[in-house]
Amino acid sequence: MTPLEALSSTEVTLFAPEKARINQAIYDAGIELAARLGDMGALERWIDEKLDHQEGGVQWWRANVRRAGGDRTIVAESATILTVAQAERILKYDKQTISKWRHKLGKRAEYREAISKAARKKLELEKADNHRARGTGENEW
């Protein structure tokens, strides 16, 4: 069994709020390993799994968390309504992180490409942009 197969057999696809941070670390490790091995198919699968997990986190937050003084007409799908502080303690992610996920997942294709590009750049599989030379004519040969 290859390291990539061993890592992908962890079955972390269901969203468990107590394990959210650990599962995200597993997805990040899978993405890095797939990029390092040059397995672009596995890289894309790991990215999809990571995004699906983040979507699960956003949905869990929406179903279980209500801010103080929030809209009282909305009935939570869950029997237990958590405060933001309680949810942050369970998830080990703050409200801003969930908000960023929600925003980025709204443009899933762009977010997916950004993660893929970052993994390839980290391993120098893709040339980094020279942001200082943009628009100067110095990088146009």
DSSP string, 100-121: HHHHHHTTHHHHHHHHHHHHHH
CB atoms inside a 10 Å sphere around CB 61:
22
Q: For the segment 40-90, what is each residue's pLDDT rounded down to a tens digit?
A: 899 999 999 999 999 999 999 998 888 766 655 555 555 578 889 999 999
Q: What is the largest CA-CA distance in the chain?
A: 63
- Quick one: pLDDT band at residue 11, thresholds 50, 70, 90? very low
**CA pair distance 29, 67, nearest whole angstrom:** 33
pTM strictly above 0.85: no
pLDDT score for 66: 82
Q: How far from the centroid of its chain's Cα atoms is residue 51's Cα?
A: 5
3-class secondary structure, 73: coil
**CA pair distance 54, 33, nearest whole angstrom:** 20
Strand partners, 65: 82
Is residue 121 classed exposed, middle or buried when 0-12, 13-18 and 19+ CB atoms within 10 A define those classes? middle
Residue listed under structure tokens 């933001």: 84
